[in-house]
């Protein structure tokens, strides 16, 4: 494997972090060998390379054993024929471009959320993964982790335990991206950073001294895909999307062809749900889930087990483990490019209605706003040459 972007999120995956659920991260797995790390910040990539090589030296007992190289340009990682898969944890504006290029290079892909920053980018990722026959796992780990709470909530709803599903409170509204005209006060670019490569498809903005990941997003672009991934899963909408978008109390809202309405806000008076969760409201009760809680009204709804003859969803108890299993077997991951594309699109459509401040019709099959040129222009965003997908 190669790791592209080794800031906090990428290093957590690589060496162990709160969201990786395995001590030591991918480096500690006996079925993975980390051959490359990549980052535009030299101290970051060199220190990460050193930590990986120290780990292999200690565990393999081969003195100055070295297996991992450090790169500034992700294209050098993709060019290596001995790398089977990459994990992309770069800033969000790079995710789709890197994923498409990785698929073209024949690599399997684990990509952090958001999958893309525009609907057309999300489509491009899906098209590339299909065309080149690659395994793609989105970093929507709630489908696998947290003791199966999210899967159980969806199974309870899909088995009719709350009656007919009527509405979903997503706790977060949709998100979008807009290139700023400036970041801050211009400063000299330090020698240890490739600022032009950091910006990539973003405009040629001046360096402002911030060594963290700049966020070009509006609304909930960074966190929201976790919530809308569960919205889509529980609404049985992994292969489709909403048909109408509007504003409710100033927040983005959605209506699906099934009649289910999604509100980009918390359920009134319900504290559970903010941490990646949703509140699912039916004709006979409601269920609310987040990373730490699964509750219902009436309370007995979440206590009744799913029976063997009931409907069951794809089960995974390790998101990274599911990815690696699918790399080996070529099975479909629990959160593949088809699912990620639809979840990202739902999130991004909410960002569009927030920008336009008016009701919109959406065709989830054609993936366009019928007879609405103004809204359709927001499905894509210009990229700085030479970056094109």
| CATH (domain of 310) | 3.30.360.10
Same domain, 114 and 7: yes
Phi and psi dihedrals of 216, rounded to 5? -100, 15
Longest CA pairwise span in the chain (Å): 66
Count the neighbouring beta carbons within 10 Å of the beta carbon of residue 233: 27
Report how far residue 297's alpha carbon sits from residue 49's, in angstroms, rounded to the nearest whole number. Answer: 50
- On whether residue 247 sits in a domain, the answer given is yes
**CATH code for the domain of 56:** 3.40.50.720
Residue 244 pairs in a beta bridge with 255, 361
Q: What is the residue range of 371's domain?
A: 146-175+220-377
Same domain, 22 and 154: no
Report how far residue 307's alpha carbon sits from residue 297's, in angstroms, rounded to the nearest whole number. Answer: 20
Same domain, 164 and 277: yes
Report how far residue 90's alpha carbon sits from residue 83's, in angstroms, rounded to the nearest whole number. Answer: 18
Same domain, 253 and 109: no
- The domain tally of the chain equals 2
pLDDT in the model for residue 63: 59
Same domain, 129 and 151: no
**pTM above threshold 0.85:** yes
Same domain, 228 and 361: yes
pLDDT in the model for residue 273: 96
Same domain, 157 and 249: yes
Q: Report the sign of the C-alpha dihedral through residues 271, 274, 276, 280, in that order.
A: positive
Question: Could you give the dihedral angle defined by the CA atoms of residues 227, 273, 167 and 248, in that order, rounded to the nearest 10 degrees?
Answer: -80
Each residue's pLDDT expressed in tens, for the chain with a length of 389 residues: 999 999 888 999 999 877 677 778 999 998 999 999 999 999 999 999 999 999 998 888 765 666 899 999 999 999 999 999 999 999 999 999 999 999 999 999 999 999 999 999 999 999 999 999 999 999 999 999 999 999 999 999 999 999 999 999 999 999 988 777 666 678 899 999 999 999 999 988 888 776 555 567 777 888 999 999 999 999 999 999 999 999 999 999 999 999 999 999 999 999 999 999 999 999 999 999 999 999 999 999 999 899 999 999 999 999 999 999 999 999 999 999 999 999 999 999 999 999 999 999 999 999 999 999 999 999 999 999 999 88
Residue 261 pairs in a beta bridge with 167, 255
Report how far residue 230's alpha carbon sits from residue 252's, in angstroms, rounded to the nearest whole number. Answer: 17
Same domain, 45 and 169: no
Radius of gyration of the chain (CA): 21
Instruction: Determine contact, residues 46/12, Cβ cutoff 8 Å.
Output: no
First to last CA, the chain: 24
pLDDT digits (tens, 9 = 90+) for 57-98: 888 876 566 689 999 999 999 999 999 999 999 999 999 999
């Amino acid at each position: 494997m190669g790791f592209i972007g080794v800031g906090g999120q990428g290093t957590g995956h690589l060496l162990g972090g709160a969201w990786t659920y395995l001590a030591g991260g991918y480096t500690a797995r006996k079925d993975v060998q980390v051959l490359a790390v990549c980052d535009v910040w030299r101290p970051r990539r060199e220190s990460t390379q050193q930590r990986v090589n120290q780990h292999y030296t200690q565990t393999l007992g081969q003195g100055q054993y070295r297996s991992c190289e450090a790169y500034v340009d992700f294209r050098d990682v993709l060019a290596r024929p001995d790398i089977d898969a990459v994990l992309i944890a770069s800033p969000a504006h790079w995710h789709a471009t890197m994923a498409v290029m990785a698929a073209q290079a024949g690599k399997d892909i684990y990509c952090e959320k958001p999958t893309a920053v525009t609907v057309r980018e999300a489509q491009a990722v899906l098209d590339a993964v299909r065309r080149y026959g690659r395994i793609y796992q989105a970093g929507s780990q709630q489908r696998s982790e947290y003791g199966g709470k999210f899967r159980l909530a969806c199974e309870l709803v899909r088995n009719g335990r709350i009656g007919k599903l009527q509405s979903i409170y997503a706790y977060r509204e949709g998100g979008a991206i807009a290139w700023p005209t400036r970041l801050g006060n211009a400063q000299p670019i330090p020698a240890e950073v490739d600022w032009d490569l950091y910006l990539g498809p973003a405009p040629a903005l001046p360096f402002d001294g911030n060594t963290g990941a700049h966020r070009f997003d509006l609304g909930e672009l960074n966190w929201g895909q976790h919530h809308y991934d569960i919205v889509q899963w529980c609404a049985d909408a992994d292969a489709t999307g909403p048909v109408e978008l509007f504003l409710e109390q100033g927040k983005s809202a959605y209506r699906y062809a099934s009649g289910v309405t999604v509100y980009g806000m918390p359920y009134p008076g319900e504290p559970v749900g903010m941490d990646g969760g949703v509140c699912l409201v039916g004709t006979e009760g409601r269920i609310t889930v987040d990373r730490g809680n699964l509750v219902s009204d009436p309370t007995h709804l979440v206590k009744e087990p799913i029976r063997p003859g009931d409907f069951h969803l794809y089960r995974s108890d390790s998101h990274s483990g599911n990815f690696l299993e699918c790399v080996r077997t070529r099975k479909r991951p629990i959160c593949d490019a088809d699912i990620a594309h639809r979840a990202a699109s739902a999130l991004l459509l909410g960002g569009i209605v927030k920008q336009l401040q008016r009701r919109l019709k959406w065709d989830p099959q054609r993936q366009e706003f019928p007879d609405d040129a103004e809204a359709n222009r927001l499905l894509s965003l210009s990229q700085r040459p030479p970056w094109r997908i």
